[in-house]
Amino acid sequence: KPVFCDKKCKKRCSKAGVKDRCIKYCGICCGYCKCVPSGTYGNKHECPCYRDMRSSKGRPKEKRKKEKETHFVFFLTHARDPNPLPPPPVSFTVAAGASPLFRRSVKPSCRALPSDRLPSLRLLDGRRRLPGFLAFRYPSSEPGSKRLSSGFSVVERLLDKGRMRIVGLTGGISSGKSTVSNLFKAHDIPIVDADLIARDVVEKGTGGWKKVVSAFGEDILLSNGEIDRRKLGQIVFADPAKRKLLNQLLAPYISSGILWKIVKLWMKGYKVIVLDIPLLFEAKMDRWTKPTIVVWVDSETQLQRLVARDGQSEDDARNRINAQMALDLKRDKADIVIDNTGSLDDLNQRFREVLSEVTKPLSWTEFMLSRQGALTTLVVVIISAITCRKFYKSGV
Ligand SMILES: CC(C)(COP(=O)(O)OP(=O)(O)OC[C@H]1O[C@@H](n2cnc3c(N)ncnc32)[C@H](O)[C@@H]1O)[C@@H](O)C(=O)NCCC(=O)NCCS
Ligand SMILES: Nc1ncnc2c1ncn2[C@@H]1O[C@H](COP(=O)(O)OP(=O)(O)OP(=O)(O)O)[C@@H](O)[C@H]1O
C-alpha cells in the first residue's frame, strides 16, 4: 500500500458515518488503485479504478456517508454593493430535506426555483438569515465552481460586509493621487486624505498652529492670523532641516488625525478604505496598508503638471519634487502601480482594473482587523470566560 494512503483516507473519511469502516475500505481501494479521490465525498471520476471497486457482494467498497447530501452552487453578491463585482461561484454542501432555505432573504427575482427545491445551508444554522445577499443557483457542474471544504470559508464570504481593507495610495507631488482618489470616491470608497488632515491640524488656534508659529515665527502668518501656506512652503521646501522640523512638529497631530478617521470609518463598518498619503513610504506607514498603490508619472510630465496646476516657478516646483523620495523608488516599493503619464481616459481604464483588485474578497487577516472581526473575537473571549468560570465553579 502506498505511504500516502493512510493520510488521504483519513481525510477522505473524516466525515463518514462509520469512520473505521470507511478507512478500512478506502485503504484497500487505495492500495489497489494507488489513488484516492479528493474531498470527503464524490469526485470518484478522479480515480475510476477506486470508483468501480466492488465487494464480494457486488456493492461499492467505499461506504457512503449516512447523511444524504446534495451539491449546489450559489453565486453570492452583496445586494447593497453599488458596484458588485462578481465573486467566484461558491459551492455549498447541503443536507437533503433540511428546513426551507433563507427564503425570506432571497430576493424575489432569484426565486426561480420552486420553494421546496430550495435547500437550507447546512453550514449555517437553520435560523440564520442572510440579509443583504442575493443568491443565484447554478448547477454544480458550472465551470469554476469550487467545493469548499469547511464552513469557515463559507462564513468568511458571508461576513464580507464587516471586513476592512486599508489601501495605501501614494505617489509624487502632482503625480495624480487626488485624481485617483476622486475616482475611488466616485465608487463610494471612502478616502482618508492626509493633505486635508495636515491642513486641519494647523488651523488658527490649534495645537499644531501654536507649535508651527513658535518654531517659524509670526512672519509666516497672514493678516487674519492663519498660516501663509505658500510662504511656509517656500521656506520648508528650500531647506531640508526646516522641512524636517515642520514634519516632526506636525507628525503626531497628522498621525492621530489619520487614526481617528480610520476608527470612525471602521465603526461605520466600511470594508475598503483608501489612505491617500503623499509621504506614505517616508513616514513608514506602508506597513499598515495592503495593497499599496503608487501613482507614477515620468519626471517631465510631473514637473509640467505641477507648474500648470500651482502656477509656481519651475525652481519652486523642482524643490517640492526633490523634497520627496524619488518616484521611481516608490514605484519599486508598490504592490500596484498606476502609470498616469497618459491621458485621463487611460487613467480611467487602468483604474477599473485596480478597483477590481482592491475590492476582491478580503483575507482572514483583514477580517480580523475589521469591526466584525474584533466583535467576533470579543464574543469568543466572553463566551470562553463564561464557560471557564462555570467550569471552575462546578469544579469547586
Ligand atoms: C508646507 C505646507 C504648509 C505647504 O502647503 P501647500 O498648501 O502649499 O501644499 P499642500 O499642503 O497642499 O501639499 C501639496 C503637496 O506637497 C507635498 N508635501 C507636503 N508636505 C510635504 C513634506 N513635509 N515633505 C514632502 N512633501 C510634502 C505633498 O505631495 C502634498 O500633496 C504643507 O504642505 C504642510 O504643512 N506640510 C507639512 C505637513 C505634511 O507633512 N503634509 C503631508 C501629509 S503626509
Ligand atoms: N492623466 C492626466 N492627464 C492630464 N492631467 C492630469 C492627469 N492626471 C492628473 N492630472 C492633472 O495633474 C495635476 C496634478 O494631479 P493631482 O492634483 O491629482 O496630483 P496629486 O498627486 O494629488 O498632487 P499633490 O501631491 O500636490 O496633492 C492636476 O492639475 C490634475 O488635473
Q: Which of 169, 170, 175, 178 to mutate to test the pocket of ligand 2 (most atoms within 8 A of CB)?
A: 178
228: CA distance to ligand 1 center in Å? 13
Q: pLDDT digits over 305-364, tens only?
A: 999 999 989 999 999 999 999 999 999 999 999 999 999 999 999 999 999 888 876 666
The DSSP secondary structure of 100-123, one letter per residue, reads: P-STTTS-GGGTTS-GGG----TT
- Percent of the chain at pLDDT > 70 equals 67
- Percent of the chain at pLDDT > 90 equals 40
184: CA distance to ligand 2 center in Å? 15
340: CA distance to ligand 2 center in Å? 9
- CATH class, domain 165-370, is alpha beta
* Ligand (nearest to CA of 182): 2
63: CA distance to ligand 1 center in Å? 70
Over 90: is that where the pLDDT of 102 sits?
Answer: no
Average pLDDT over residues 77-87: 35
* Ligand (nearest to CA of 183): 2
The angle that helices 344-358 and 177-186 make with each other, rounded to 10 degrees, is 60
Residue ranges of domains in the chain: 4-51, 69-161, 165-370, 371-396
pLDDT band (50, 70, 90) for residue 71: very low
The overall average pLDDT reported for the chain is 74
Q: Which atom of ligand 1 is nearest to the CA of 250?
A: 38
Say which residue the cell 452552487 belongs to. 73
Nearest to 82 by CA among 359, 282, 303, 330: 359
**Other Cβ atoms within 10 Å of 305 Cβ, number:** 18
What the block records as the C-alpha cell of 139 is 448547477
Shortest-distance Cα residue to atom 25 of ligand 2: 173
195: CA distance to ligand 1 center in Å? 7
